[in-house]
C-alpha cells in the first residue's frame, strides 16, 4: 500500500481542500475522481505464448486508490485446470469473473468455485489482503464444498481466524437454517511461514511455489513467489523497494509480475511529504523505481516483465508514462498489464 497512516491520507486531502491545491493534487487525493480513473486501459488480452499449458491471469492491476477500471492487486496461475491465487485485492471476486467471462474455456473452468481453494499472500498490507473474506465466503454461497488453504507471512492464520469469527453469526445461521448449505465450504485454514531468504512453501503435482523475502517498508516479511510449473516459471513480486533479492526470485522467469512507481513525476505524489526529497525518502522505502526494476529484470534475464500496481503521477496524465520510464532503462519485453490479461 502507499502508507500505513490513514491519518496522513486524511490530512493530505484536507490540506488540499483548505489550501486550494492544484487540480492534480486534489484529483489524486480524492476517492472518486482522478485522471487515471478516467482512462479505460481497454479489454483483457491473451498474451500467453501459443501452446502454453500454464498461464498467469491478472485478476487486478490497481493500487490502493479505487479505480473503476482496475481491481486491487491479484493474480492467478492456472495449471491443468487448477488455479493458484496470489494476493486478494479489493474486487478479486469480480476480477475472477471478468477473466473467466472474457477468456472462457480452461480459464473459466479453473475459476469454478471448487478450484478456488489455494491462496498465497505476498504481504499483509490491506490492498493485498482485503479480498480474503470474499474468497472465503462468496464461493461458499455458490456451493463450494471444500475449505480454503491460505498461505502467507506470519499473521495470516490469525487474520483468517479473525475473518471467520467476524462472520460467525451469519455462517452459523446459514448452516442451521438452510439444509442445502455445504457444511465445509466456508472453512479456511491459514498457513504461516517465516522465510528469511528463500524456500519452498508449497508443492503438488502442478506447481512448486517458492517464497523469496524482499524489502517493503518495515514489514518483517514480504514475499515474491516463484511458481515453477511443468512448462514455465511464473514469478509474482511482492511490493517493494529495489532489492537485489528479487534477482534470485525472478531468475530466468518466463513472466515476472512487478509493481512500480513513477520516479520522474514523484513530486506529484499525494503522499510521502511536501518536497520531492521528503517524498523520495519515504516512498522509496515502500516502492520500486523504474530504473531499479529495469536493473533487476535485466540481471535476472526475465523473458517478459509485466507491470501492475503502477503508481503513475504524470501531469498531464499519460497512461504510459511509467511504462516509458521503465523502457528508458530496459530493452527487454515489457507490458503494462490490464485486468483480465493472460500471460
Per CB under 5 A, residues contacting Zn ion are 1, 125, 127, 239
DSSP string, 6-32: HHHHHHHHHHHHHHT--HHHHHHH-SS
**Are 290 and 323 a contacting pair, CB within 8 Å?**
no
Nearer to Zn ion, 127 or 292 (CB): 127
State which residue, 125 or 279, has the beta carbon closest to Zn ion.
125
Contact 277, 207 (CB under 8 A): no
For 220, the grid coordinates are: 518483517
- Give least dist CB 75 to Zn ion, A: 13
Question: Is 171 or 310 the residue whose CB approaches Zn ion more closely?
Answer: 310
The CA-atom distances, in angstroms, between 256 and each of 32, 47, 229, 309 are: 31, 13, 14, 13
- Sheet architecture: strand order including 305-311: 198-203, 208-213, 223-228, 233-236, 255-261, 305-311, 334-336
Question: Shortest approach of Zn ion to residue 84 CB, angstroms?
Answer: 20
Least spacing, CB of residue 238 vs Zn ion, in Å: 7
Minimum distance, C-beta of residue 10 to Zn ion, in the bound complex (Å): 19
* Residue number with CB closer to Zn ion (82 or 285): 285
Instruction: Name the strands in the sheet holding 148-152, side by side, starting at the edge strand that comes first in the sequence.
Output: 54-60, 74-79, 82-86, 118-120, 148-152, 188-192
* Shortest Å distance, C-beta 286 to Zn ion: 7
Would the CA dihedral through 265, 268, 272, 275 be positive or negative?
positive
Which CA distances in Å does 293 have to 106, 107, 179, 328, 331?
32, 29, 53, 11, 12
Closest CA to 119 of 104, 127, 131, 106: 131
Q: Which three three-digit cell numbers place residue 195?
A: 522465510
Residue closer to Zn ion (CB basis): 215 or 232? 215
Closest CB to Zn ion among 171 and 288?
Answer: 288
Alpha-carbon distances, residue 214 vs 98, 237, 240, 292 (angstroms) = 31, 9, 7, 14
Of the two residues 103 and 309, which places its CB atom closer to Zn ion in the complex? 309
In whole angstroms, the minimum distance from the beta carbon of 232 to Zn ion comes to 25
> What is the closest distance, in whole angstroms, from the C-beta atom of residue 214 to Zn ion in the complex?
12
Amino acid at each position: 500500500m502507499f502508507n500505513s497512516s490513514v491519518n496522513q491520507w486524511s490530512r493530505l486531502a484536507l490540506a488540499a481542500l483548505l489550501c486550494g491545491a492544484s487540480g492534480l493534487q486534489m484529483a489524486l487525493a480524492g476517492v472518486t475522481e482522478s485522471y487515471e480513473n478516467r482512462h479505460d486501459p481497454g479489454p483483457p488480452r491473451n498474451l500467453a505464448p501459443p501452446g502454453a499449458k500454464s498461464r498467469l491471469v491478472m485478476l487486478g492491476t490497481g493500487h490502493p486508490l479505487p479505480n473503476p477500471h482496475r481491481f486491487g492487486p491479484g493474480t492467478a496461475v492456472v495449471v491443468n485446470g487448477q488455479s493458484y491465487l496470489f494476493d486478494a485485492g479489493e474486487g478479486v471476486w469480480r476480477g475472477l469473473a471478468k477473466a473467466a467471462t472474457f477468456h472462457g474455456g480452461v480459464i473459466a473452468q479453473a475459476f469454478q468455485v471448487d478450484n478456488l481453494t489455494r491462496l498465497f499472500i505476498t504481504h499483509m498490507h490491506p490492498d493485498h489482503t482485503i479480498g480474503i473474506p470474499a474468497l472465503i465466503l462468496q464461493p461458499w454461497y455458490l456451493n463450494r464444498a471444500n475449505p480454503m488453504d491460505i498461505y502467507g507471512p506470519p499473521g495470516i492464520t490469525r487474520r483468517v481466524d479473525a475473518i471467520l469469527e467476524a462472520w460467525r453469526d451469519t455462517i452459523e445461521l446459514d448452516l442451521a437454517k438452510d439444509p442445502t448449505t455445504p457444511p465445509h465450504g466456508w472453512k479456511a485454514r491459514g498457513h504461516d511461514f517465516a522465510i528469511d531468504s528463500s524456500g519452498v512453501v508449497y508443492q503438488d503435482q502442478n506447481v512448486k511455489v517458492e517464497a523469496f523475502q524482499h524489502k517493503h517498508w518495515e514489514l518483517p516479511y514480504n514475499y515474491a513467489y516463484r511458481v515453477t510449473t511443468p512448462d514455465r516459471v511464473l514469478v509474482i513480486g511482492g511490493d517493494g523497494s529495489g532489492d537485489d533479492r528479487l534477482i534470485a526470485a525472478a531468475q530466468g522467469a518466463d513472466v515476472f509480475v512487478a509493481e512500480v512507481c513513477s520516479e520522474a513525476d514523484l513530486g506529484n505524489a499525494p503522499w510521502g511529504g511536501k518536497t520531492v526529497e521528503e517524498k523520495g525518502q519515504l516512498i522509496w522505502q515502500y516502492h520500486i523505481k523504474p530504473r531499479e526494476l529495469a536493473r533487476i529484470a535485466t540481471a535476472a534475464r526475465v523473458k517478459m516483465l509485466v507491470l501492475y500496481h503502477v503508481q503513475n503521477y504524470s501531469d498531464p496524465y499519460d497512461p504510459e508514462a511509467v511504462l516509458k520510464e521503465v523502457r528508458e532503462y530496459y530493452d527487454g519485453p515489457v507490458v503494462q498489464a490490464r485486468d483480465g490479461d493472460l500471460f
